[in-house]
Amino acid sequence: MSDDIQKEVAPEEAVQKEAVKKAAAKKEAVPKEDAANEVETLDYMIVSSSPHLFDDNSIKKIMWTVNLTLAPAVIFSIYYFGLQALITLLAGSLSAVAFEAASQKIMKKKITIDDGSAFLCGLLLAMCLPPAVPIFVPIVGSFIAIVVAKHSMGGLGYNIFNPAHIGRAALMVSWPVLMTSWTTITTAADVTTSATPLNILKLQGYEAVVNTFGSQTELYKALFLGLRNGSIGETCVVLLTLGGLFLIYKRIIDWVVPVTMIGTVGVLTWMFGGTNGILSGDPLFHMMAGGLIIGAFFMATDMVTTPITRKGKVIFAAGAGIITVLIRLLGGYPEGVCYSILLMNCVTPLIDRYIQPTLYGRGEIG
Amino acid sequence: MKRYWDIFSKGLVLENPIFVLALSLCPALAVTTSVVNALTMGLTVTFVISMNNLIVSIFRNWVNPKVRVPIYITSIATIVTVAELLLKAFAPLLYKELGIYLSLVVVFAIILARAEVFASKNRPVPSFIDGFGMGAGFTLAMLIVGVIRELFGNGTILGYTVLGSWYPPALIFIMAPGAFILIGYLVGAWNIWSARIEKAKGERGETI
């Protein structure tokens, strides 16, 4: 009995000793930490013009919030598409982080991989890929997104184009066959290749889409819940919308962008999408199919590559919607969200130049 | 001799037509999909540019400045026709491959620029060497772009398989966007390189 007590006590003593040792070590380390803090705070002592509003938002906070809002859709797609989707997503996001660290190291800049922007970029890129692509595809895509589209332009905040979409566009040009092979898991062991709803629409027409899913209600249900073929992250409309609404609630994105973009696509496809003349299209189908939801909520709202003012954002979103509809209805590709956002990225500086807010006291009365 | 070498070598690196002067980017984008095409185009342009510089330089004192450009064009067109006929006779397949771009050599900016900037003001021999240097620089640039594009876009060099079947060819290198991106990066690399050369020359006290 007494032996037991002694044994119990002994480790406790050891632990205490350890703690004392640790505290001592900490004391020694304190000056170092202080020095580090000083350097850190110097980063925030920026001389800038007004407004001098202070907000506790930071790149880190915003980026990880966006990552978090994507999580439900990501988890759903891993559940729906299986392990291959997980591998693609991991390869995309992790390699993006690695490329970010490497390019910042080569350019002798401060390494900022913990701010989550590279992770987000890689994740969004992987979400725009078909689930069963070979593993090199997301890695090459991340390379193009991070090294070519982001750091060659000067890093975060200086890139003209949405890096994730540049990556996807380059992959689309490089390996068109791999990038358009859509797979579904019908049973646990059986994988078949079949077309996405928009592919069927392009090749066989609207009736064929409805027939594939059984009825129009079934079609809407499949699109809304994400039970269909497509890129990894674009399928589940309901979870993506929830994530987007959370971002709007957090005021990270402006609600006018998704509303304008999705609305433009809806109205235009309703007017011109049908085969029986004007106003016979199916706007709901077009709004939920393809990558429109993820594009409108997460790509067209990118802070770097879209206009600053609200008026500019509306123009941007409407333009992207119009180009999307043009590509879907008249172009050669079945889906055009990626290209429409990239094309509108081109004119963002122009929009910003012409849509400038009136200076206080300089505007006309009335 | 040193003077002639300077005239020749400036076309290679410090005044490379494609990477530094950024003239004649069109062929650099359009015909560099394979090494053979790039090399043929480079040699054709070298031939045309040096012959044209020679002719323009010989006749420089008899040409009225007011009509100099039409005369340059006439001279270039003549030489290009010669080159075209030669290719058609001795390498019909290449002729077919290069197609319209061979005739377009007539309006390549670099040829007109060298006639205007150098040949119309200098004696025939330096002019010929200047044209030859510029042509060599053009060929060098075309070769660099061509090798990279064929290697990554097709997995081959000069038609021989270099990257085996494990390599899935990235079609972007064969298409125009890949060429734009690649040339952008090569211009950047070239700037770093020529800045180093100029620095070294400056340290040695030579005039650049």
A292 burial level (CB within 10 Å; 0-12, 13-18, 19+): buried
A92 and A219 assigned to the same domain: no
Residues A296 and A184 in one domain: no
Q: Determine the residue of chain B that is closest to A170 in CA distance.
A: B172
Distance CA A170, CA A140 (A): 9
> Per-10-residue mean pLDDT for chain A, 366 residues long?
46 53 50 50 64 75 91 90 89 94 91 89 92 90 93 88 92 87 57 71 82 84 84 88 92 92 93 79 87 91 89 94 92 87 93 82 64
Give yes or no: residues A162 and A205 share one domain.
no
Range of the domain at A121: 57-194
Return the number of CB contacts < 8 Å for A and B.
Answer: 21
Q: What are phi and psi of B62, to 5 degrees?
A: -105, -5
Query: How far are the Cα atoms of A178, A201, A229, A232, A239 from residue A186, in angstroms, in the given order?
Result: 20, 22, 11, 16, 22
Q: How many CB atoms lie within 10 A of CB A38?
A: 9
Domain co-membership, A216 together with A308 = yes
DSSP type of residue A191: E
The confidence score (pLDDT) of residue A6 equals: 47
The ipTM of this complex is 0.83
Contact B172 A178 (CB under 8 A): no
> For residue B52, which amino acid is it?
N
Contacts of A173 in chain B (CB under 8 A): 171-172, 175, 177-178
Beta carbons of A138 and A179 less than 8 angstroms apart: no
Per the domain annotation, does B2 fall within a domain?
no
Q: Is the peptide bond before A349 cis (omega within 30 degrees of 0)?
A: no
pLDDT at res. A44: 61
Which residues in chain A have Cβ-Cβ distances shorter than 8 Å to B172?
Answer: 170, 173-174
Q: Does A166 share its domain with A310?
A: no
Q: Answer whether residue B4 shows pLDDT above 60.
A: yes
Q: How many domains does chain A have?
A: 2
* Of A184-193, B146-155, B175-184, the least confident: A184-193
Nearest residue in chain A measured CA to CA from B170: A174
Cβ–Cβ gap B171/A136 under 8 Å: no
Would you state the pLDDT for residue B207?
59
Please give the pLDDT value at position A46.
64
Which of A194, A212, A236 delimits the end of a domain? Answer: A194
Q: Give the one of A134, A148, A174 whose C-beta lies nearest to B170's C-beta.
A: A174
Contact assignment for A173 to B181 by CB distance below 8 Å: no
User: Nearest Cα to B114, choosing from B131, B101, B102?
Assistant: B131
The closest of A207, A366, A186 to A276, measured between CA atoms, is A207
**Closest partner CB to B171 (pick from A134, A140, A173):** A173
Closest chain A residue to the Cα of B153, Cα to Cα: A174
- Contact at CB, B168 and A178, closer than 8 angstroms: yes
Flag whether B9 is in a domain: no
Helix ranges (H only) for chain A are 2-44, 59-81, 83-106, 117-127, 136-143, 163-174, 176-179, 197-204, 206-213, 216-225, 237-249, 256-272, 283-288, 292-294, 310-330, 337-354
Verify whether the Cβ–Cβ distance B172 to A174 is below 8 Å.
yes
Q: How far apart are CA B33 and CA B159, in angstroms?
A: 12
* pLDDT at site A364: 65
Contact A197, A211 (CB under 8 A): no
Q: Which residues of A touch B175 (CB under 8 A)?
A: 173
Tell me the pLDDT tens digit for each residue of A143-166. Answer: 999 999 999 988 888 899 999 999
Rounded distance between C-alpha atoms, residue B38 and residue B29, angstroms: 10
Measure CA B58 to chain center.
Answer: 23
Assess A147–B contact: CB distance below 8 Å, yes or no: no
Query: Are B177 and A178 within 8 A, CB to CB?
Result: no
Query: Long-range contacts for A136-140 (Cβ within 8 Å, ≥24 apart)?
Result: A136/B168, A137/A88, A137/A171, A137/A175, A137/A178, A137/A179, A138/A88, A138/A89, A138/A91, A138/A92, A138/A95, A139/A91, A139/A92, A139/A95, A140/A171, A140/A174, A140/B170
How far is the C-alpha of A103 from the C-alpha of A152, rounded, in Å? 9
pLDDT score, position A57 = 76
Query: A351 and A257 in one domain?
Result: yes
Cα distance from N-terminal residue to C-terminal residue, chain A: 92
* Residues A136 and A221 reside in one and the same domain: no
Chain B residue nearest residue A136, CA to CA: B168
Give me the amino acid identity at A204: Q
Question: What is residue A29's predicted lDDT score, i.e. its pLDDT?
Answer: 46
- Select the residue of B168, B177, B185 nearest A173 (Cβ to Cβ): B177
CB contact under 8 A, B175 and A173: yes
* pLDDT at res. A162: 92
| Ramachandran angles phi, psi of B140, nearest 5° | -60, -50
* Residue A343 domain-assigned (yes or no): yes
Sequence-separated (6 or more) residues with CB below 8 Å from residue A336: A323, A324, A325, A326, A327, A328
Instruction: Please indicate whether, in this complex, the C-beta atoms of A136 and B168 are within 8 angstroms of each other.
Output: yes
pLDDT at A278: 76
Do B171 and A174 lie within an 8 Å CB cutoff? yes
Interface check A178 vs B, CB under 8 A: yes
- To the nearest whole Å, the CA of B101 is away from the closest chain A CA by 24
Q: Say if residue A214 is in the same domain as residue A266.
A: yes
- CB of A202 within 8 A of CB of A254? no
Distance CA B78, CA A147 (A): 46
Q: What kind and span of H or E run contains B108?
A: none
Cβ A316 vs Cβ A257: under 8 Å: yes
User: Of the candidates A304, A55, A287, which has an alpha carbon nearest to the alpha carbon of residue A160?
Assistant: A304
Instruction: Determine the distance in angstroms separating the CA of A360 from the nearest CA of chain B, rounded to an integer.
Output: 43
Distance from CA of A132 to the nearest CA of B (A): 16
- My answer on whether A179 and A282 are in the same domain is no
CA dist A314 to A251, A256, A258, A317, B77, Å?
Answer: 16, 6, 9, 5, 53
Cβ of A175 within 8 Å of Cβ of B181? The answer is no
Backbone angles phi, psi at B161, to 5 degrees: -70, 120
Closest Cα in chain B to A166: B177
Interchain contact A136–B (C-beta under 8 A): yes
Domain assignment of residue A239, yes or no:
no
Q: How near does any CA of chain A get to the CA of B155, in Å?
A: 13
Rounded distance, CA A262 to CA B19, Å? Answer: 44
Looking at the fold, whether A206 and A189 belong to one and the same domain comes out as no
Query: Cα–Cα distance between B161 and A143 in angstroms, integer?
Result: 25
- A25-64 pLDDT, tens per residue? 554 444 444 544 555 555 566 666 766 777 777 888 889 9
Bridge partners (DSSP) listed for residue A184 = A192
Residue A7: what pLDDT?
Answer: 46
Strand partners, A193: A183
Average pLDDT over residues B115-124: 90
Total domain count for chain B? 1
Closest CA to A129 of A72, A196, A63: A196
Q: What is the pLDDT of residue A5?
A: 46
Q: In this structure, is residue B208 part of a structural domain? A: no
Instruction: List the domain range (segments joined by +) for residue B192.
Output: 17-203
How far is the C-alpha of A94 from the C-alpha of A71, rounded, in Å? Answer: 15
CA separation for the pair B62, A182 (Å, rounded): 70
- A12 within some domain: no
Residues of B with CB under 8 A from a CB of A: 168, 170-173, 175, 177-178, 181, 185
What is the token pair recorded at B41? Answer: 């185009």
Does one domain contain both A178 and A224? Answer: no
The mean-pLDDT minimum among A67-76, B44-53, B155-164 falls in B155-164
Would you state the pLDDT for residue A184? 60
For residues A329 and A349, state if they share a domain.
yes
Residue A363 belongs to some domain of the structure: no
Candidates B185, B130, B152, B155; CA nearest to B15 is: B130
* Nearest by Cα to A118 from A67, A193, A192, A52: A67
Question: Token pair for residue B134?
Answer: 């510029």
